[in-house]
Structure 1
């Protein structure tokens, strides 16, 4: 809006329609593709459709370049050429997320969203986002502090630090996340972190000032598996038990911190025992979110042997649904809670997602499966 453009509530009457896509997994890729296809069909004749986000780089062949403009995460300067702004996109800071664009059951509606970096220093075998965003590119600490001070002046009392891996922050600048957090601690604002790779979490934790830990309200540390064998296949060099020990130590002193984690189930060659062991995460984390594994384009995990049959993925999903702490959505339940990382209104929705994302799926409703 500072550039003289008006954001309107409906696509009718728009000159430009900007669609941010996600290529994290097959479910989100298909949903993104469906949304883009619908908008092309309805509006491409009267508006310029711009497709951005990770999927624009992960799988650009999905989109007809004669009908859309494709802008990958490392091509944001294209927006400057299209809109000829007074303020270039790279100079636009964070802010409160528009309520229309956030899952109210999950997001932090009152937080100031501050992106501290893009990309990461990791090389997870299953991740296509790394290929889309590349190595870490961090904002200068001085710039972040200016943005933070402006947010506080505007009345914000909590900040959400965003990054593909906040733990990678500063590796390209000769600094690190602990230094940044230990600076932010002196401001009257709660700190939320989404996400931090467990390996970086291990190395940065001893560097955090006690006052910093008092300021932290939320942290997502995605362990992805509790099996060291599976973590090795994922190219994630840490032991989940070491992460559990750190979480336990922090929680013994700072009970207010809400810890969340992610688990990928059905990774190639994962045994039923390795899958079930992952529920131990609920003994340490306040929220454990499960995602079923899907192959992504041009990543090494897609070439691994021992792919888990879709029928077994369905069975493991039922195990998650039957967990005593399972909840279909974030709510006011006392933690820990176990969730699935998908937009669900009913339990059938997850089985439809699996049926659409994985080969050779015969979908039957959860109620039918449970009663059979």
Structure 2
């Protein structure tokens, strides 16, 4: 058990930290934190940061950073408002155009970083200023609203409930049960594969306890959502992104190459990895997810504003580092970034309920980020010695 915990220290420590923070704020807020309405608000309020964190973890794994994502999100939201509100284009077509615009922006920045060799910090800092300025130009300093109702449902809509049962969302419980069984099936298959190839595995009792915990947590979470309005549309999008990117990073050659580029660039090049193409692709991906985040935020706010996306990049970067990514690259997971984002989200929500001002909230978040990076550096030094 000691060896297993040491091997997975990052993963276990951030999950334990999240549980501790949830329990702490549940106590301090007198039970308000885990009420169905507040849980739903937590998902809606942090969805765009979690989307950014998924893209940012890939950027940081490759050893780079992206400071422009908040400005890109604001710029894409402004373009979407012009097309949908002023020109009355079809929302679905506008979403496709905006995602393609995000890819073009990512390719623009990725070109300078991967092929010209300018540090990502400089390129994305320039991008932050450039796209913030373009946002002000497009909006002319004013907000544009409202968006069509079909577009707003991206962030504010919920899955329908075909079973009329007095307000309880039965479909959400059915989905939760199905998801828990899928997760258990995946864990079981992985466990059997590890046993077959004689890898280190959890003791039998602990493994069954883990399966039981998965079942209870997933179904407990969906039960809480079902007590309010059910599963939000944005949660479906988030789960799809988490599943897709987790699979890519764990099971595909591209994922292995991303880790290789961040772990040791020279060794990756000598091994035949097309490092420039990988870096270029990672920034295109970040541009697409920044555009998606901007659309989600605009749909939730029901307006495109000049100050949209402010400090999004810092929240996304903090989520990735708190979630266990290394400041040196080569280490990090999509699940870890999501857990880090939830830590930040729960802290923000809990401190707001307690009435703490934005000044103290920023100070505490900065301290948590410093502790997370310090933990990474200290654990690396211990491993090296």
| TM-score normalised per structure 2 | 0.21
Q: If each structure's helix is expressed as a fraction of its own residues, which one has the higher value?
A: 2
Q: If each structure's strand is expressed as a fraction of its own residues, which one has the higher value?
A: 1
- Higher RCO (CA-CA < 8 Å; seq separation 6+): 2
